[in-house]
Amino acid sequence: MKIGFDHKKYLEEQSKFILERVNDYDKLYLEFGGKLLCDLHAKRVLPGFDENAKIKLLHKLKEKVEVVICVYAGDIERNKIRGDFGITYDMDVLRIIDEFRSYELDVNSVVITRYDNQPATTVFMNKLERRGIKVYTHRSTKGYPTEVDVIVSEEGYGKNPYIETTKPIVVVTAPGPGSGKLATCLSQLYHENKRGRVAGYSKFETFPVWNVPLKHPLNIAYESATVDLKDVNMIDSFHMEAYDKVSVNYNRDIETFPVLKRIIEKITGKESVYKSPTDMGVNRVGFGIVDDEAVKEASRQEIIRRYFKTGVEYKKGLVDLETFHRAKLIMEELNLKAEDRKVVIPAREKASKLKEELCKNEHCTVVAIELEDGTILTGKNSSTMDAAAAVIINAIKHVANIADEIHLISPVILEPIIKLKSETFGNKTTALNCEEILIALSISAATNPMAQSVMEKLSMLKGCQAHSTTVLSTNDEQTLRKLGIDVTCDAEYSSSSLYYNN
């Protein structure tokens, strides 16, 4: 994919802007919108963007920064999954803490928001505290969002414990949206003001991009990524009124701005310096775009991927029909079709052909992958391996210039694994999945130079596109993600069996 984004220029612009904000206050509470770590959405729609750009920026400012992580108690209770990694939000909090520490950033604490003694949340809090992590709990704020006098009082934010911080920049982040980051920042502003300190609030945003047109595919891709939240991009009317300039923001920030402005003014006792939601943000990502056409095409492909993802989530019962219809409407808005994703038609055509040959009523699973050179390969289910495993073997054989008929893994290695699955574990399905076949291949590599040479080509699959004609197992989906492959699935199960690994 063509590079469309200058990562270095973005980092310079963004760090400069943050430091300018800090100079106005004793302490700046910086809410991070979107993913602070592993921002794979930004990486996909802005070719050239470093998925860890934000944390690398903070690493540069590490002497001035400490981190507070928020997580909504309700998300822990219902085991909400972070889609990019397939892990629950509570587990993602642990992962985030480890990542911050690896970048030498101080993690101050974890805040459990809207806590109401939920059992699973209490267990998670115990786990954190017994590992030496400070935990604070915030209940629902009385009077929020309309009764400003109650919110900014001892009955509102005053009920929350004060989080002791020591550095001039306090980054407030979370595993995902709706985690209570804004409320935590405002609660801290209230407590700082009570202590006579000059504290400020700002938001580190990436999407929507305020200085890119409203209907630019990059901004529409953000709507596609947040269909479950019903986010809609809008012209920031407050910014237009204050500065007579067009700026893009999204509905939630625009709708809450008047109340947010009143709350900040009530806390500080003076007029807010912010005239619009756009003012509140620190977002220089638009200045890093160097090839607009490359960004547009990358964004269109992301919208298609999101459409497939929402379709699978609807099939699994994770989202409602309205959310799926919204994803479809976004596709139609840009005249996009599922088949505009290059790997879709080859996968479906191969599956259809196999179904005719085998006269099967069940869906045949075929996975197609597009390699860096544009070659499209497919893999299908067999008694030895599933389709995801097959396509990976076919792909690394291709890039290593090894003939398809050559077997890389000896039956001496495969048979004991299949026997373990069937006889010891009692699995009805014994075909090896993607992870298992790669482990078997790595064992073969110890004695087989050809297998070793193929293993070394795995890194060449990073950034490749893949599509499956049926819903992949969680294990296969996660393994493909670990390899850096962007995979989508048709919203069909491979079997009528109700007990399906997903």
90-95: average pLDDT? 94
Longest Cα pair distance anywhere in the chain, in angstroms? Answer: 78
Identify the pLDDT of residue 146: 82
* 500 has a pLDDT exceeding 60: no
Quote the tokens at residue 189: 């502003």
Instruction: Tell me the CB-side half-sphere exposure of residue 239, using CA atoms within 13 A.
Output: 18
Identify the pLDDT of residue 68: 97
Identify the pLDDT of residue 15: 87
Alpha-carbon span 350 to 357, nearest angstrom: 11
Where residue 18 sits, what CATH number does that domain have? 3.10.630.10
Identify the pLDDT of residue 36: 77
Q: Calculate helix-pair angle for 434-444, 387-399, nearest 10 degrees.
A: 40
Residue pLDDT, tens place only, 176-223 = 888 999 999 999 999 999 999 999 999 988 999 999 999 999 999 999
Identify the pLDDT of residue 2: 85
Identify the pLDDT of residue 362: 64
Residue 170 included in any domain: yes
Residue pLDDT, tens place only, 127-177 = 999 999 999 999 999 988 789 999 999 999 999 999 999 999 999 999 888
* 501 has a pLDDT exceeding 60: no
Residue 229 included in any domain: no
Provide the percentage of residues in the chain whose pLDDT is more than 90: 73
DSSP track, 33-93: -S-SS--HHHHHHSTT--TTHHHHHHHHTGGGEEEEEEEEHHHHHTT-EETTTTEEHHHHH
How many folded domains does the chain comprise? 2
255-265: average pLDDT? 93
- Is the Cβ–Cβ distance between 76 and 118 less than 8 Å? yes
Residue 454 included in any domain: yes
Range of the domain at 403: 341-489
Alpha-carbon span 499 to 431, nearest angstrom: 16
Where residue 412 sits, what CATH number does that domain have? 3.40.140.40
- Is the Cβ–Cβ distance between 419 and 431 less than 8 Å? no
Among residues 172, 206, 240, the one where a domain terminates is 206
Identify the pLDDT of residue 81: 81
Residue 45 included in any domain: yes
Beta strands 27-32 and 169-173 are parallel
Residue 227 included in any domain: no
* 84 has a pLDDT exceeding 70: no
- Is the Cβ–Cβ distance between 163 and 97 less than 8 Å? no
Residue 44 included in any domain: yes
Residue 321: closest CA among 501, 474, 473, 491: 491
Q: How confident is the model at residue 404 (pLDDT cuts 50, 70, 90)?
A: confident
Mean predicted lDDT score pLDDT of the chain: 92
- Is the Cβ–Cβ distance between 388 and 479 less than 8 Å? yes
* 354 has a pLDDT exceeding 80: yes
Identify the pLDDT of residue 499: 63
Residue 407 included in any domain: yes
Identify the pLDDT of residue 168: 93
Lowest-pLDDT choice from 13-17, 207-211, 234-238, 335-339: 13-17
Q: How confident is the model at residue 496 (pLDDT cuts 50, 70, 90)?
A: confident
Residue pLDDT, tens place only, 12-45 = 888 888 888 888 888 999 998 777 778 889 999 9
DSSP-H helix ranges across 86-244: 89-102, 119-129, 148-151, 181-194, 217-225, 237-243
- Is the Cβ–Cβ distance between 53 and 11 less than 8 Å? yes
Among residues 153, 185, 206, the one where a domain terminates is 206
pTM greater than 0.85 (yes/no): yes
Among residues 206, 231, 257, the one where a domain terminates is 206
Query: Would you call 298 helix, strand, or coil by DSSP?
Result: helix
Residue 88: closest CA among 129, 131, 121: 121
Residue 336 included in any domain: no
